């Protein structure tokens, strides 16, 4: 994987993209691509639990006792264990089933919920993965457009105290898709 980075100013807020492992990038809050059982899994979820340690799952056990499942499009927050962050925001993305089952709205909701939780917690910086683009099968280009539009709209409207959002992307193909979306979307809104 090449090391790549891009940054955009949206007024006093920043939108950034980089390749890498999200568990290694410091931020106040880290987004996770969780499943509705909040049970841990492979991909970025597995990496976050491995790097963060067992306290994250212990907190999720308590949340699960209360809400049973977290529906797609929603997110819950826990502490971040030994990750270089204070909080993990566990967002449940849609499983992609052809695009006509409300997947786009659900994916946008995941990113909005992450922004809302980050704001509520007082996080000033947030890292996010490309939710649903792994096992859940969301086409990368479409997912990138939804992710960047949703986050950039909140940042550009200054609707948040979150100062900086960085997408941390696993691989060159994901980075290229997010870079193309960001160049287009930032040009439209600035
Ligand atoms: P989902 O089930 O929501 O599709 P996955 O974890 O399978 O979640 O994949 C989501 C995205 O996260 C994919 O683009 C995958 O390549 C990426 N990914 C996997 N591991 C990491 C990591 N350590 N850091 C950042 N992104 C990751």
Count the alpha carbons within 13 Å of 134 in the hemisphere toward its beta carbon.
Answer: 18
Number of H helices, E strands in the chain: 5, 7
* pLDDT score, position 75: 98
pLDDT 10s digits, 64-107 = 999 999 999 999 999 999 999 999 999 999 999 999 999 999 99
Distance 129 CA to ligand 1 centre (A): 6
Distance 184 CA to ligand 1 centre (A): 24
pLDDT 10s digits, 110-162 = 999 999 999 999 999 999 999 999 999 999 999 999 999 999 999 999 878 99
Task: Let me know if 65 is a catalytic residue.
Answer: no
Pick the CATH number of 5-189 from 3.40.50.1000, 1.20.1510.10, 3.40.220.10, 3.40.720.10: 3.40.220.10
In this structure, the residue with its CA closest to atom 6 of ligand 1 is 43
- C-alpha angle with apex 102: 97 to 108, nearest 5 degrees? 110
Is the CA virtual torsion 63, 64, 66, 72 positive or negative? positive
Catalytic residue among 21, 28, 45, 153: 45
Distance 10 CA to ligand 1 centre (A): 26
- Give the gyration radius of the chain's Cα atoms: 15
Q: Is 166 in the pocket of ligand 1 (CB under 6 A)?
A: no
Distance 161 CA to ligand 1 centre (A): 26
Question: Hey, where are the domains in the chain?
Answer: 5-189
- The closest-lying atom of ligand 1 relative to the alpha carbon of residue 136 is 4
Is the pLDDT at 2 greater than 90? The verdict is no
- The closest-lying atom of ligand 1 relative to the alpha carbon of residue 21 is 24
Mean pLDDT, rounded, for 38-43 = 93
In this structure, the residue with its CA closest to atom 3 of ligand 1 is 132
Whole-structure pTM over 0.85, yes or no?
yes
Q: Is 170 in the pocket of ligand 1 (CB under 6 A)?
A: yes
- Partners of 6 in beta bridges: 17
In this structure, the residue with its CA closest to atom 21 of ligand 1 is 44
Contact 96, 142 (CB under 8 A): no
């Amino acid at each position: 994987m090449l090391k790549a980075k891009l940054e955009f100013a949206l007024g006093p807020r920043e939108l950034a993209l980089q390749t890498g492992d999200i568990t290694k990038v410091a931020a106040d809050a880290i987004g996770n691509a969780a499943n509705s059982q909040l049970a841990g899994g492979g991909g970025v979820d597995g990496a976050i639990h491995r790097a963060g340690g067992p306290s994250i799952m212990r907190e999720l056990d308590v949340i699960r006792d209360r809400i049973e499942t977290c529906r797609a499009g929603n997110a819950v927050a826990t502490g971040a264990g030994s990750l270089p962050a204070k909080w993990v925001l566990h967002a449940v993305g849609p499983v992609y089933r052809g695009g006509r089952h409300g997947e786009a709205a659900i994916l946008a909701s995941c990113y909005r919920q992450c922004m809302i939780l980050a704001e509520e917690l007082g996080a000033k910086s947030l890292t996010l993965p490309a939710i649903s683009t792994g096992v859940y099968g969301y086409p990368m280009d479409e997912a990138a457009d939804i992710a960047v539009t949703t986050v950039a709209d909140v940042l550009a409207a200054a609707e948040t105290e979150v100062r900086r959002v960085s997408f941390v992307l696993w691989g060159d193909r994901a980075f290229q898709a997010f870079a193309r979306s960001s160049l287009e979307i930032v040009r439209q809104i600035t």
